[in-house]
Amino acid sequence: MHGLGNSYIYVDAFKHPLQEAWLAPLARAISNPNTGIGSDGLILILPSDEADVGMRIFNKDGSEGQSCGNGLRCVAAYVVEHEIVTAPSCTIQTKAGRTEAEVISKSEHESIVKIDMGPPLLNRRSIPMVGEEDAPVISESFPLGTHTLEVTALFMGNPHAVFFVDDIESAPLQEVGSVVTDDPRFPERVNVEFVEIIDSKEMNFRVWERGSGITEACGTGACAAVVASVLNGFADSDQDITVHLSGGDLSICWASDGHVWMTGPAEFSASGVFYWKRQ
């Protein structure tokens, strides 16, 4: 399945439980387009004692993520389609916490899903980022080699570092993304976003995801971009903002209750059997 081109292989662990020791090497093997299926990673849909279903995310390098906005939409679409839940709404437990999801509409291969992504965490301790633990990171100088950028950082299901640029097409995604994601100022690594503001209700967006590199879309990153835009005065809260990602558009709203809401598609691509030679 994929959300705006952010493609993961999904395993229904209600039917096919997997051993813990298999998960990281399986994610690396199945994500490799040369010897596997090819994807941005592996997502498990599994039973949970804390929500209707659980979800675990493994990046293509085998590292485990905390949440995935596009993955949440796909999991919600899957569990409704396969009647693991009996209503269009469900709760999903991730390592970042419990999330509410609603399938608004669906066709044969695509669903439109709305997700409550919860409130952003804005202090350094929560991102995490080195420095004064309780301080927010808003348009802060970020020396990088011979250049100094301005970063707004926050935790939105995952750690995010947002950089605003005048032209998204010339954003140094490959060069800067690969360096910032492993910068020691982010002890748990970070997702790196570049954002071009079109107006107060529209923006362009590109992303380098920790553990996966450049991807077509990142749901938590798009949410972080909207929050960062509001914090920097480029947009207002409590309104729908269209985020143009490489793979398509998401509608994001940082609501007056502090929660961030994301609406977008989830698409089924294929199903089948993967023959894995465990090393």
Mind listing the pLDDT tens digit for each residue in 239-249? 999 999 999 99
Q: Is the Cβ–Cβ distance between 196 and 169 less than 8 Å?
A: no
Long-range CB pairs of 196-200, under 8 A, 24+ apart, other chains included: 196/164, 196/165, 196/166, 196/167, 196/168, 196/171, 197/164, 197/229, 197/234, 197/235, 200/234, 200/235, 200/236, 200/241
Q: Does the active-site annotation cover 90?
A: no
Say what the pLDDT of residue 278 is.
Answer: 79
Q: Domain 2-118, CATH 3.40.50.720 — does that match?
A: no
Q: What is the per-residue pLDDT across 197-220, written as a single tens digit (0 to 9) for each?
A: 999 999 999 999 999 999 999 999
Q: Is the Cβ–Cβ distance between 75 and 62 less than 8 Å?
A: no
Say what the pLDDT of residue 279 is.
Answer: 66
Q: Exactly one of 74, 90, 218, 223 is catalytic; which is it?
A: 218
Tell if the pTM clears 0.75, that is, is over it: yes
Above 90 in pLDDT, residue 26?
A: yes
The answer to whether the 2-118 and 137-258 domains have the same CATH topology is yes
Q: Exactly one of 68, 74, 90, 253 is catalytic; which is it?
A: 68
For the chain, the domains span: 2-118, 137-258
Return the bridge partners of 188, or none.
none
pLDDT > 90 in the chain, percent: 97
- For the record, the structure tokens of 183 come out as 């910068």
Helix pair angle (219-231, 69-81), 10° resolution: 130
137-258 CATH? 3.10.310.10
Q: Does the active-site annotation cover 68?
A: yes
DSSP 87: S
Q: Is the Cβ–Cβ distance between 93 and 100 less than 8 Å?
A: no
Apex 267 CA angle, 258 and 208, nearest 5: 60
Confidence of residue 15 (pLDDT cuts 50, 70, 90): very high
| 156: phi then psi, degrees, rounded to nearest 5 | -135, 70
